[in-house]
């Protein structure tokens, strides 16, 4: 009964407190109500309840918008962006930040602006938009340098993470050191610990064991005294944060060097950890004797007499190694030491368990008190919402009353008008007799008007007949003109075909001359240049051949053209005899000559390069040419399974004339070019600007 009464008493106190908080919140000024809602939202975020936090932030945002308080609107949109980052929804977070941008003005407080810029940088970092993120972090740094320089540690830490995850640990180290210099002045555990952890990751990645050992020692001092086992030591997580991809031999060398540094600096806890993990690595690589040496060094030299749990873990692993290697006498001695140590640990553990139970009771008691306070806050928020709804309902009731009064006034006006209408009806009756007499006069006037209208209609009909005759004559003249234009168009098409035929013949003559010149050239390099020129001219000749042989003089059958062009290149380089196959996958399209000319030049250069360079020292090979439409764009792909572009060659910095041709025509077509040389060479162009026939 006493327990039940106590529970009811707690509930009554909570409800009373909640109602008092609600009344207090309702009576608060608008700005303080917004700040209270923000505080509740932040508390929910700390408890990992993002949905509840979002609810409070939305309430505050609605209130801030009603007041048109731009600073608090920006703050609340930034809070909502933070909620979405915790939910792993960076795109939704970016939407909230873009909503806030409308309310950012010159009057926005600098601290609010800095926080807004910082979250922009953080979200763009999550979206892998490095340049944009870096720009926002720089803006944040500039503001914090003016109002609160200490907060720049978080900016430098975020920039360091940006470079670290983009495979630039050297640049990341530079910014982590900037953050370290700031947090080292106050050594707040959370801030300084994060920076030390980041520096540890960088030094392990850059293979700097001495610096790593120094950071590890400082990290251990920051955390304070611990009585954990080796496997649960907080330094364990720090030590192996970024080691998963490092080879075992490199790990061993790193740990050995770090151990010697720790012993020199008299940081024996770090040396014990290094020996422990060296033993694990030696055991894993079938070197039990070396593992025993490390653990024996821990037992005899490094582990202090009061570190019972560390001794226990070390002896346990040593016992297993003695057993596996057949050293039974040493194993028995170690087992006896373990039994003795176990009894000591049990006594200590029982004492600690009693203390922990007392702490747990106190903690649970405080947590229940916190839950009561939180429930009060939630009830207050609900009451605030209810009060807002009541206020809205009262406003609507007032509006309805005002409209009812307006309707009564309108009815009074209508009755007044009705009286006026009745008197006016009497007046109209008098006027009706006068209007009848006027009507007779009007009828006579209408008869006269009808006669006049008939005369006008006769004249209009005559004019229409005359206009029709004129239109008919003009129509016959236009038909005659259209026939002449059609004849001229046919003559022009014949002329264009003849021009394209002659241009094709002239280009073939030029191509043949260049081919002959290449055969007579004494220098092989010069001969190759003449041959390349011949092939480029020939690719344009095929375009003009398709133009005069096709259905129209402006469109080209791309499939036929590409097959003709690639076949000629295969013959020119005698590729079939060299075991090289060519496969074309070209969609049946008709494109304008303005598009086909640059396309042909690009295909000519890419296929020629594959035939000349891709299959050196190879008995066979394959080249594939693909041209098709994808989502309103053209995809051109020239791929070979040859040797690929060497790693030391930067194709974008070459002075090759062929690459300049490809680049120029790629820009003309507004195309996006990608080059992949992992297995052979794969060049793809996604063309946005092209004309169909």
DSSP track, 291-328: HHHHHHHIIIIIS-TT-HHHHHHHHHHHHHHHHHTT-H
pLDDT tens profile 189-201: 778 877 887 887 7
CA distance 562 to 360: 80
Encoded tokens for 81: 């962006």
What average pLDDT does the segment 419-433 reach? 77
- For 522, the 3-state DSSP assignment is coil
- Confidence bin at 684 (pLDDT 50/70/90): very high
Beta bridge partners of 623: 582, 640
Encoded tokens for 486: 């059609």
pLDDT tens profile 43-98: 887 877 888 888 998 998 898 888 888 888 998 999 999 889 888 888 999 999 99
User: What's residue 16's pLDDT?
Assistant: 42
Give Cα separations from 257 to 108, 210, 263, 266, 271 (angstroms).
53, 8, 10, 14, 10
Confidence check: pLDDT of 627 > 90: yes
Q: Which helix (H) or strand (E) holds 540?
A: helix 524-549
Nearest to 269 by CA among 316, 319, 307: 307
CA distance 173 to 181: 12
pLDDT tens profile 506-531: 666 676 666 666 667 667 667 666 66
Give Cα separations from 404 to 330, 408, 412 (angstroms).
102, 6, 13
Q: How far is it between the farthest Cα atoms of the chain?
A: 146
Angle at 360 between CA 357 and CA 362, to 5 degrees: 115
CA distance 273 to 267: 11
- CA atoms lying within 13 Å on the CB side of residue 254: 22
What pTM was computed for the model? Answer: 0.40
Q: Is 17 exposed, middle or buried (0-12, 13-18, 19+ CB in 10 A)?
A: middle
- For 96, the 3-state DSSP assignment is helix
Strand duo 590-592 + 555-557: pairing = antiparallel
8 CB contacts (<8 Å, ≥6 apart)? none
- Confidence bin at 17 (pLDDT 50/70/90): very low
What percentage of the chain carries pLDDT values higher than 90?
9
In the numeric block, the tokens 């409308």 are attached to 102
């Amino acid at each position: 009964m006493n327990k039940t009464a106590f529970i009811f008493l707690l509930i009554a106190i909570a409800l009373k407190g909640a109602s008092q908080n609600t009344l207090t919140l309702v009576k608060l000024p608008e700005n303080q109500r917004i700040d209270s809602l923000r505080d509740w939202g932040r508390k929910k975020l700390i408890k990992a309840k993002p949905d509840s936090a979002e609810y409070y932030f939305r309430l505050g945002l609605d209130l801030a918008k009603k007041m048109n308080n731009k600073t608090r609107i920006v703050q609340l949109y930034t809070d909502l962006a933070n909620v979405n980052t915790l939910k792993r929804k960076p795109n939704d977070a970016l939407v909230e930040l873009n909503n806030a941008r409308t309310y950012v003005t010159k009057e926005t407080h600098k601290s609010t602006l800095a926080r807004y810029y910082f979250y922009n940088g953080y979200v763009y970092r999550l979206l892998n938009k490095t340049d944009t993120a870096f720009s926002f972090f720089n803006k944040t740094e500039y503001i914090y340098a003016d109002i609160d320089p200490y907060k720049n540690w978080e900016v430098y830490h975020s920039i360091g993470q940006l470079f670290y995850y983009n495979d630039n640990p050297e640049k990341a180290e530079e910014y982590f050191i900037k953050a370290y210099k700031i947090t080292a002045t106050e050594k707040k555990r959370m801030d300084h610990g994060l920076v030390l952890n980041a520096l540890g990751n960088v030094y392990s990645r850059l293979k700097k064991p001495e610096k790593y050992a120094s950071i590890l020692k400082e990290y251990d001092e920051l955390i304070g005294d611990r009585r954990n086992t080796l496997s649960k030591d907080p330094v364990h997580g720090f030590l192996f944060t970024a080691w998963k991809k490092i080879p075992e031999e490199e790990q061993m060398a790193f740990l050995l060097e770090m151990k010697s540094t720790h012993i020199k600096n008299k940081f024996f806890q770090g040396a014990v950890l290094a020996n422990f993990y060296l033993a694990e690595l030696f055991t894993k690589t079938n070197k039990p004797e070396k593992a025993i040496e490390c653990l024996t060094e821990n037992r005899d030299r490094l582990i202090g007499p009061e570190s019972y749990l560390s001794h226990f873990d070390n002896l346990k692993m040593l016992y297993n190694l003695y057993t596996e290697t057949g050293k039974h006498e040493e194993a028995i001695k170690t087992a006896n030491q373990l039994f003795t140590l176990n009894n000591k640990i049990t006594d200590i553990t029982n004492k600690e368990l009693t203390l922990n139970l007392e702490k747990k009771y106190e903690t649970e008691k405080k947590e229940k008190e916190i839950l009561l306070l939180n429930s009060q806050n939630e009830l207050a928020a609900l009451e605030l919402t209810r009060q807002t709804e009541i206020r809205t309902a009262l406003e609507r009731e007032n509006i309805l009353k005002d409209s009812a009064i307006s309707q009564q006034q309108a009815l009074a006006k209508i009755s007044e008008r009705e009286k006026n209408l009745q008197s006016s009806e009497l007046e109209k009756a008098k006027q009706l007799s006068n209007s009848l007499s006027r009507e007779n006069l009007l009828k006579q006037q209408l008869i006269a008007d009808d006669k006049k209208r008939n005369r006008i209609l006769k004249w209009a009909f005559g004019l229409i007949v005359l206009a029709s005759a004129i239109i008919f004559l003009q129509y016959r003249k236009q038909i005659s003109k259209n026939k002449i234009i059609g004849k001229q168009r046919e003559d022009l098409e014949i002329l264009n075909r003849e021009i394209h035929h002659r241009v094709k013949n002239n280009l073939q003559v030029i191509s043949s001359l260049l081919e002959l010149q290449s055969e007579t050239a004494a220098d092989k390099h010069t001969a190759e240049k003449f041959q390349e020129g011949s092939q480029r001219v020939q690719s344009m000749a095929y375009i003009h051949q398709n133009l005069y042989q096709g259905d129209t003089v402006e469109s080209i059958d791309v499939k036929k053209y590409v097959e003709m062009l690639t076949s000629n290149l295969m013959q020119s380089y005698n590729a079939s005899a060299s075991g090289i196959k060519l496969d074309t996958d070209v969609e049946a399209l008709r494109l304008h000559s303005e598009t086909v000319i640059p396309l042909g030049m690009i295909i000519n250069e890419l296929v020629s390069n594959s035939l000349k360079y891709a299959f050196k020292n190879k008995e066979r090979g394959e080249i594939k040419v693909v041209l098709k439409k994808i989502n309103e764009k053209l995809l051109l792909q020239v791929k070979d399974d040859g040797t690929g572009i060497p790693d030391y060659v930067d194709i974008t910095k070459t002075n090759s004339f062929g690459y300049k041709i490809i680049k120029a025509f790629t820009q003309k077509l507004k195309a996006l070019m990608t080059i992949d040389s992992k297995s052979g060479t794969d060049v793809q162009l996604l063309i946005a600007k092209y004309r169909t026939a």
